[in-house]
A and B are shown apart, each in its own frame.
Chain A
Amino acid sequence: MANLLEIRWHGRAGQGAKTAALVLAEAAISTGKYAQAFPEYGPERMGAPMKAYNRISDEPITVHHHVEEPDIVIVLDPTLLTVGDVKAGVPDDGIYLINTPLSASEMRKTLDLEGSGAKVYTLDATQVSMDTIGRNIPNTPMMGALVAATGLLELDELLEDTRIKLSKKLRPEVVDKNMEAIKRAYREVAS
């Protein structure tokens, strides 16, 4: 792992990008790493495009500004691919993790990344969340996909911290469904 890893989440308000970033940071912190998680707030309304960020490092992080050159970009909503520039600031060998029914090679074409050193992973997180949670909440499956794609954390570490975080807000059976979503995503994400 690079000493400072920066992640940018693209989502629509209500899809859980902020929660995902918070859970990921907490999970990283509980393994002894340093981490930040913060959303970029604009006008707050359901469905509006929004971003959330993570920084994860083995050393204390003192900077407090937006992530401008993310190592990893995670797109929770495929319709955002045509709205903003999800590639902004991403280095040539950046990692893209996209919620889409398309294959990674199709997505590579869509993003105009053919021939680049970028790594592209796809997962139909909407389908996974519909099947497991029963609603289009792609954030937890995309966390499972992130862990599978990057090895940033162990799957068990993610599951444990997500359970703790979600249990504060959700009923136990809904938490269980989210756990299932993460595990399935972990298996199904593909490059």
Chain B
Amino acid sequence: MSIRVGKTGNEAVAEAMRQINPDVVAAYPITPQTEIVQIFSSFVANGKVDTEFVTVESEHSAMSATVGAASAGARSMTATSANGLAFMWEIVYIAAGMRLPIVMPVVNRALSGPLNIHCDHSDTMGARDSGWIQLFSENAQEAYDNAVQAPRIAENPDVKLPVMVTMDGFIISHAMEVMEILEDEKVREFIGKYVPENPLLDVDNPVTLGPVDLQDWNFEHKRQQAEAMRNAKPVILDVASEYAKLTGRKYGLFEEYKLDDADIAIVVLGSTAGTAKVAVNALRAKGVRAGMLKMRVFRPFPAEEIADALKHVKAVAVMDRSDSFNAVGGPVFVDVRSALYDVDNGPKIVNYIYGIGGRDVTPDHVKTVYADLAKIAETGQVENPLTYLGIRE
């Protein structure tokens, strides 16, 4: 039986890390991720885990040590936020390119500057092309569930890619809510024993990892990396279906909320999805056919599945909690619109950038988006392809 508890998002993810019991964790604290590292280090100090905890002097070193440990054959984790992720950047790509199955919770926070410690998705959206799998979470429960599923996805022989598990800074990381955790032995059984393929510590079978890889083979290796990301999609679904048997909680590439018969719909990631559900319910009660698509897996990007789920909708708004500063629209918008390009008579599609730097988003904000969509669905005309939601102009 699952255990019903009240936990903050950070506590939930630290709990998942305790149950995963990684061989190595190398991490550096940064708001709002700090508690994860703090709580986990107390697990280490109190002998609750067997983990070798490496205290490093920066995030660049945190990811470097994690890459080193994973290369040695250790199940390895770290965690970060915002500028910490930015400081890791060089090694984030190396982790993916070396096909190391590292799992990293990232507590979403605005990238400086101006300096801001609150939630937006600019940190992980910047890493969307780094070669990491990205799983977004609506709440503490999903952050926990994604963290428990992540090692199985990362370590699958067809995948062997690092995984980021995200949650919204403060909004989820520091908010206590009801969730269920699994018993330790169930998690241990679910994730199983990690058997690395070519560990450096296997001295009987010496290998070199991460050598120079020039014109003759680099392209082939990058092609394999791309294939691994394609392979990740069915693996993520397989792991989710096994996890559903264990917990009753079903996960897919995304969640469709009242989308089947929707005329208008939004696409959203993270905690705002829960707020949007309240708006959808209120609109449905008035007879408005509103729906929502909440993305869980942003990388690999489920383009065909999204196109299929949205093809019948008349107007779609993609909600971006970060800006691409490309003078066009946010990163989720660009990908979703591209996914819908080949759909005949597909929906009109618009972009809303919202919640930057932790700007609060209420059901009323979301309702204004649906009101705009209703107008677009009725007239077939798009007046504003890009709207900054809740901004003072």
Q: Using a CB–CB distance below 8 Å, which chain A residues touch chain B?
A: 21-22, 25-26, 29-30, 34-39, 41, 60-66, 68
Question: Is the CB–CB distance between B117 and A36 below 8 Å?
Answer: no
Q: Tell yes or no: B277 within 8 A of A by CB.
A: yes
User: Would you give 8 A-B contacts (Cβ < 8 Å), ordered by A?
Assistant: A29-B5, A35-B177, A36-B177, A38-B170, A61-B177, A62-B278, A64-B171, A68-B362
- The interface residues of chain B lying within 8 Å CB-to-CB of A68 are 362
- The interface residues of chain A lying within 8 Å CB-to-CB of B138 are 62
- The interface residues of chain A lying within 8 Å CB-to-CB of B360 are 65-66
- The interface residues of chain A lying within 8 Å CB-to-CB of B5 are 29
Given A25-B6, A29-B4, A65-B362, verify A60-B272 contact (CB < 8 Å).
no
- The interface residues of chain B lying within 8 Å CB-to-CB of A35 are 6, 176-178
Given A63-B278, A64-B272, A64-B275, verify A25-B362 contact (CB < 8 Å).
no
Given A26-B6, A29-B5, verify A64-B176 contact (CB < 8 Å).
no
Tally of contact residues, B, Cβ under 8 A:
26
- The interface residues of chain B lying within 8 Å CB-to-CB of A25 are 6, 176-177
- The interface residues of chain A lying within 8 Å CB-to-CB of B117 are 41
Nearest-neighbour CB distance to chain A for B324, whole angstroms, equals 24
Q: Closest A-chain residue to B176, C-beta based?
A: A37
Nearest-neighbour CB distance to chain B for A65, whole angstroms, equals 5
The 3 A-B pairs at the shortest CB distance, nearest first, are namely A38-B175, A62-B274, A64-B271
- The interface residues of chain B lying within 8 Å CB-to-CB of A65 are 171, 275, 360-363
Nearest-neighbour CB distance to chain A for B237, whole angstroms, equals 24
Q: Closest B-chain residue to A32, C-beta based?
A: B4
Q: Tell yes or no: B367 within 8 A of A by CB.
A: no
8 A-B pairs besides A64-B274, A66-B360 with CB distance below 8 A are A25-B176, A26-B6, A38-B171, A39-B174, A60-B178, A62-B277, A64-B172, A65-B361
Q: Tell yes or no: B139 within 8 A of A by CB.
A: yes
A37 to B357, CA, bound (A): 21
A61 to B271, CA, bound (A): 12
Question: Is the CB–CB distance between B274 and A34 below 8 Å?
Answer: no
Question: Is the CB–CB distance between A29 and B171 below 8 Å?
Answer: no
Given A29-B6, A65-B275, verify A34-B178 contact (CB < 8 Å).
yes
Question: Is the CB–CB distance between B174 and A29 below 8 Å?
Answer: no
Nearest-neighbour CB distance to chain A for B81, whole angstroms, equals 14
Q: Closest B-chain residue to A36, C-beta based?
A: B177
**Which residues B78-119 have CB closer than 8 A to chain A?**
117-118
- The interface residues of chain A lying within 8 Å CB-to-CB of B278 are 62-63
Nearest-neighbour CB distance to chain B for A140, whole angstroms, equals 17
Nearest-neighbour CB distance to chain A for B139, whole angstroms, equals 7
Question: Is the CB–CB distance between A41 and B274 below 8 Å?
Answer: no
Nearest-neighbour CB distance to chain B for A45, whole angstroms, equals 14
- The interface residues of chain A lying within 8 Å CB-to-CB of B178 are 29, 34-35, 60
A66 to B175, CA, bound (A): 11
Q: Tell yes or no: B263 within 8 A of A by CB.
A: no
Q: Tell yes or no: B168 within 8 A of A by CB.
A: yes
Nearest-neighbour CB distance to chain B for A18, whole angstroms, equals 9
- The interface residues of chain B lying within 8 Å CB-to-CB of A66 are 360, 362
- The interface residues of chain A lying within 8 Å CB-to-CB of B177 are 25, 34-37, 61
Q: Closest B-chain residue to A34, C-beta based?
A: B178
Most interface-central of A26, A29, A39, A63 (chain B CB within 10 A): A63
A35 to B175, CA, bound (A): 10
Question: Is the CB–CB distance between B176 and A26 below 8 Å?
Answer: yes
A34 to B140, CA, bound (A): 13
- The interface residues of chain B lying within 8 Å CB-to-CB of A30 are 6
Given A29-B178, A35-B178, A41-B170, verify A63-B274 contact (CB < 8 Å).
yes
Nearest-neighbour CB distance to chain B for A53, whole angstroms, equals 9
Given A41-B117, A64-B272, A66-B360, verify A36-B176 contact (CB < 8 Å).
yes
Nearest-neighbour CB distance to chain A for B366, whole angstroms, equals 10
- The interface residues of chain B lying within 8 Å CB-to-CB of A39 are 174
Q: Closest B-chain residue to A25, C-beta based?
A: B176
- The interface residues of chain B lying within 8 Å CB-to-CB of A63 are 274-275, 278, 362-363
1/0 per residue B267-298: CB within 8 Å of A? 00001101101100000000000000000000
Question: Is the CB–CB distance between A64 and B170 below 8 Å?
Answer: no
Nearest-neighbour CB distance to chain A for B336, whole angstroms, equals 22
**From A38, A41, A60, A62, contact of B176 by CB (8 A):** A38
Question: Is the CB–CB distance between B274 and A37 below 8 Å?
Answer: no
- The interface residues of chain A lying within 8 Å CB-to-CB of B172 are 64
A39 to B117, CA, bound (A): 14
- The interface residues of chain B lying within 8 Å CB-to-CB of A21 are 176
A13 to B275, CA, bound (A): 28
1/0 per residue B159-189: CB within 8 Å of A? 0000000001011101111100000000000
A68 to B277, CA, bound (A): 18
- The interface residues of chain A lying within 8 Å CB-to-CB of B362 are 63, 65-66, 68
A61 to B363, CA, bound (A): 13
**From B4, B6, B168, contact of A64 by CB (8 A):** B168
